[in-house]
Amino acid sequence: MRRALTRTLPAAAAQARALRSAPAFRMPSSSNTSKIATRRLHATAQHLRPASASAPAYAVDSYPTSHEQIKDVQDTPYFIDNKFLKSETTQFIDLHDPATNNLVTRVPQSTDAELKAAVESAQKAFPGWRATSVMARQQVMFKFTQLVRDNWDRLAASITLEQGKTFADAKGDVLRGLQVAEGACNIPQQMVGEVLEVAKDMETRSYREPLGVVAAICPFNFPAMIPLWSIPIATATGNCLILKPSERDPGAAIILAELAEKAGMPPGVLNIVHGAAKTVDFILDEPAIKAISFVGSNRAGEYIFTKGSANGKRVQANLGAKNHAAILPDANKQHALNSIVGAAFGAAGQRCMALSTLVMVGETKEWLNELAESTKALKVNGGFEEGADLGPVISPQSKERIEGLIASAEEEGATILLDGRGFKPAKYPNGNWVGPTIITNVKPHMRCYKEEIFGPVLVCLNVDSLDEAVDLINANEYGNGVAIFTKSGATATAFQKNIEAGQVGINVPVSLPLDCLILPGIRALIVS
């Protein structure tokens, strides 16, 4: 939040003279410089709470690194005032390993009292955290990022077990979040205000201030990255955060809460609650919550944006996507096909930046069989298995929906070039498996093109020219990201200028920007 202050310069000059004449602001002599520097350093350090030497009261176990049945299944705790607590609810959501459908944990639907307690904890913590110097908050971030690095494998194991990603992909999930956490260590520079002389003897100053209690509603597909977008930025800027991880895989967020406590984050600055629609509605209706960040589907995001905004909250909603790649005849064929296979099927296609739609220009449609052969080489298996390229989808319901969209494409006249339905690894026959699927001869009116599939499915359309490809992509509901594969700089430049999308990859798949850049998008992707 920015706050502006306008004052006359004579008054400002008088204040500055008074400050300079005060003992604390006298220029030190060479003999006492070090003492003053030491005093100021200690004054900053007084705002810091010592990092915890012991684990929080409710121990958070490390996750196993295999898909074997867990013998002693524990309920997921919630986190308030730097304590892990067992919910008093009678309503739980069973969480299963997507590779086996074995029970991993039970996730509580936080009670009304627990939700209210989280808000009260954050409200109580806010005045002190806001008054803590930005340099002191930065020190907490330094410790936090190091603890995330130290617990990298532990976080990744929780993701593989609960979400289904391969262990390597899960480590990448943590890495992309860690990059944002490291960016939060630069918060002092980002919190600097501005000053402008707006008239003779008059200046206006702007200050960046925290809003207060804010909330983050996280999706299932990046259990570490999205919380790591939210926790460091919200808290380093002086806000107190209520985090609702996905009820499908909250384990990584729980570990991050433990690490935040160990890093020295005071009680109440980060609280974690659980649940589904009831918890979301509480966040949307609670007057004390000033802002909400959401990542997820269009349907949920539009509801959250509409209701949250109507209640006077700042709402940032990152929604669905249907990313296209245009491949031209002059492209480096092998590079283009390899890039598309990785971008379409990595993370089992369960990411908003997946290249789920391929627009084949001219004669490139003859490359489809080679694309299919490259895709067949992917190894689909449990995420802890050596050499796995992609794992299962998140739930039986997702598997059913994805397979239904594949079937609808066939019914509407498309061709299933590579069919992943019915795939089962021998070791894990009970998982939520959908093998890589390629659908060709797709038309814009088909469901498989219009809807976000969010699975390991690539839909392919044929056009005759680059202009036709641009028109097709620009007519789509989504405007998240696109890519083009070509050797021509002129073609790439024309595509970049004429395409209507937030992110453009040239001879690279679309990827999320680094933490120093915004996450752009248009049309149905972002509302805020």
Spatial CB neighbours of 36, under 8 Å, sequence gap ≥ 6:
28
Token pair 């009292």 in the structure block, residue: 113
Measured distance CA(438)–CA(174) in Å, rounded: 29
Packing angle of the helix pair 134-150, 33-45 (nearest 10 deg): 70
Residues in the chain: 528
Cβ(124)–Cβ(33) below 8 Å: no
DSSP letter at 229 equals H
352 part of the active site: yes
Q: In whole angstroms, what is the distance from residue 426 CA to residue 399 CA?
A: 18
Question: What phi and psi, each to the nearest 5 degrees, are found at residue 347?
Answer: 60, 30
Contact between 341 and 374 under an 8 Å Cβ cutoff? The reply is yes
SS3 annotation, 197-235:
EEECCEEEEEEECCCCEEEEECCCCCCCHHHHHHHHHHH
Distance from first CA to last CA of the chain, Å, rounded?
A: 15
Of all helices (H) and strands (E), which one includes residue 317? strand 314-318
Instruction: Report the DSSP beta bridge partners of residue 85.
Output: 78
Q: Which two tokens stand for residue 362?
A: 């001219």
Give the β-pairing of 213-217 and 289-295.
parallel
Residue owning tokens 């709470």:
49
Crossing angle, helix 333-345 and helix 368-376, to 10 degrees?
50
Catalytic residue among 352, 448, 460, 516: 352
Other Cβ atoms closer than 10 A to 169: 22
The whole-angstrom separation of Cα 229 and Cα 226 is: 5
Could you tell me the two tokens for 402? 């994805």
Neighbour-count burial for 224-259, b at 16+ CB within 10 Å, e otherwise: bbbbbbbbbbbbbbbbbbbbbbbbbbbbbbbbbbbb
Give the C-alpha separation, 91 to 189, whole Å: 45
| Residues annotated as catalytic (active site), given as ranges | 352
